[in-house]
Amino acid sequence: MTKVLVATVKPFAPAAAEQIKAVFDQAGYDCTFLEKYNSQNELTGAVSDADAMIVRSDKITQEVIQAATKLKIVVRAGAGFDNVDLAAATKKNVVVMNTPGQNSNAVAELAIGMMIYQARNHFNGSSGTELKDKKLGIHAYGNVGKLVAHIAKGLGMKIYAFDPFIPKSDMEADGATVCNSAEEMYAVCDYISLHIPANKHTLQSINYGLLSKMKKGACLVNTARKEVINETDLVKVFEENDTFQYISDIAPGNSDVLVGRFGNRCFFTPKKMGAQTAEANINAGIAAAKQIIAFLDSGDTTFKVN
Ligand code: 3PG
C-alpha cells in the first residue's frame, strides 16, 4: 500500500486533517500524521518508509530526504518552498510541489488585519488613524499581493504595486498605480505590504537602501518571510525615522530588542499565523493530497517546483 506521511510541526486544523485522510482513504492510500514533533530525528524516523509526504514550513533537509529511501514526492501545502532542500530532492529524483493560491486569502486577511491593529494603536484606548485614503504599496503582485490589493480597495486605500514578473496591464486592470522600481514605491506609500518569496535573490533584500526611502509614519507589513529583511538595517531605520513602524507575522531574530526599544511602533504575532485558518488548511491540505495521488497514479507534475 502506498504510504503518505503528513508531517506538520504546526498541525492542520482538525477538519483539514480529517478531509486529507478521507481523500487518501478513497484512493486506497495509507495516510499517517506526525504532528507537533520536537526533533528532526522524529521526522527522519517517521519518513523512512513513506512514498509521499505533505509538509508545511517543516524543514525538509538533505538528511530527511536521505532517510526517506522510498520517497517519490513532497508537497509543501502552501506557497513558499524555501524550507525544502530542492537540490537534495532533485538529486534523489524526488519531485517537490507547492499548492499556490490555496492559502492566499488567509494571509491577505491577516496582512490587512495587522494593518488595522497597528493603525488603531493596538486597540490601547488612544485615538489612531484610518486606512481609508492611505497609499498601500504591494511589493510582489502574486496570489497574496493581489488579494491584499482587492481587500484594501474595499477599505478605500490607494493601491500601488511593484512586480517585475507580472504584466503591468494585470496590475493596472486592478486599479493599481504601477511603480517602475521598489524604491519609487517605498518613497510614496504609507504602508508597504511584502509578498516576495525567500530565495537567493531576495534574502536580506529589504535593506537600508529601500527602508530609508520610507516616509515619516510609514509602516512595513511583512507576511512573507523574515529572511528577506536585513535586520541590522531595520534597526538603523527605526533609529533614524522616529515614526517608522514594522509589523510582521514572522518575528525577526531581534524582536525582543525591537519591542524593547521601539514599543508599539512594532508588532509581531507570537507564532506565524498567516495560513492558520480552517479554510486555508483545508484548501492547501486537500490540494496537496490530490496532487500526490495525481502524480503517483498518473504522473501529473503540475505544480512541480524542482
Ligand atoms: C506559505 O508559504 O504558504 C505560508 O507562509 C504559510 O506557511 P505555513 O503553512 O507554515 O503556515
Residue 294: give its domain's CATH number: 3.40.50.720
163 and 90 in a common domain: no
Global pTM?
A: 0.96
What percentage of residues in the chain have a pLDDT greater than 90? 100
Domain contains 304 = no
What's the first-to-final CA gap in the chain, in angstroms? 26
pLDDT (average), residues 212-221 = 98
> Given pLDDT bands bounded at 50, 70 and 90, which one contains residue 214?
very high
CB distance 57 to ligand 1 below 6 Å: yes
Neighbours of 306 (CB within 10 A): 16
Question: CB–CB of 29/80 below 8 Å?
Answer: no
Crossing angle of helices 104-119 and 278-298, in 10° steps, is: 160
Relative to the CA of 276, which ligand 1 atom is closest? 11
129 and 47 in a common domain: no
Residues 31, 244: Cα–Cα separation, whole Å:
48
The total domain count for the chain is 2
Sign of CA pseudo-dihedral 83, 89, 90, 94? negative
Question: Which amino acid is located at 277 in the chain?
Answer: T
> Given pLDDT bands bounded at 50, 70 and 90, which one contains residue 256?
very high
Relative to the CA of 273, which ligand 1 atom is closest? 11
List, as own/partner pairs, every contact residues 74-79 make where C-beta atoms lie below 8 angstroms and the sequence separation is at least 24, other chains included: 75/99, 75/288, 75/291, 75/292, 75/303, 76/288, 77/12, 77/102, 77/103, 77/281, 77/284, 77/285, 77/287, 77/288, 78/102, 78/103, 78/275, 78/284, 79/103, 79/104, 79/142, 79/143, 79/144, 79/197
Check residue 144 and give its pLDDT: 98
Cα three-residue angle 276-277-281, rounded to 5 degrees: 85
115 and 60 in a common domain: no
Domain contains 11 = yes
Q: Show the domain range for 83.
A: 3-102+276-298
117 and 220 in a common domain: yes
259 and 138 in a common domain: yes
Domain contains 251 = yes
Residues 295, 306: Cα–Cα separation, whole Å:
14
| Alpha carbon of 103 to ligand 1 centroid (Å) | 8
Question: CB–CB of 88/39 below 8 Å?
Answer: no
| Alpha carbon of 75 to ligand 1 centroid (Å) | 12
Q: Write the pLDDT tens digit of every residue in 9-68.
A: 999 999 999 999 999 999 999 999 999 999 999 999 999 999 999 999 999 999 999 999
Domain contains 306 = no
Q: Write the pLDDT tens digit of every residue in 97-134.
A: 999 999 999 999 999 999 999 999 999 999 999 999 99
76 and 148 in a common domain: no
Pocket test for ligand 1, best of 10, 103, 223 (most atoms within 8 A of CB): 103
Domain contains 144 = yes
143 and 11 in a common domain: no
The radius of gyration of the chain from alpha carbons, rounded to an integer in Å, stands at 20
Check residue 118 and give its pLDDT: 98
Check residue 138 and give its pLDDT: 98
110 and 83 in a common domain: no
pLDDT (average), residues 161-175 = 98
pLDDT (average), residues 240-256 = 97
Give the residue, by CA position, lying nearest to ligand 1 atom 9: 56
Report how far Cα 77 is from the mean position of its chain's Cα atoms.
Answer: 11
Residues 154, 201: Cα–Cα separation, whole Å:
33
Residues 232, 202: Cα–Cα separation, whole Å:
16
Domain contains 93 = yes
β-pair partners for 55: 7, 76
Check residue 36 and give its pLDDT: 97
> Given pLDDT bands bounded at 50, 70 and 90, which one contains residue 231?
very high
Domain contains 222 = yes
Check residue 293 and give its pLDDT: 98
263 and 153 in a common domain: yes
261 and 116 in a common domain: yes
109 and 98 in a common domain: no
Domain contains 249 = yes
284 and 172 in a common domain: no
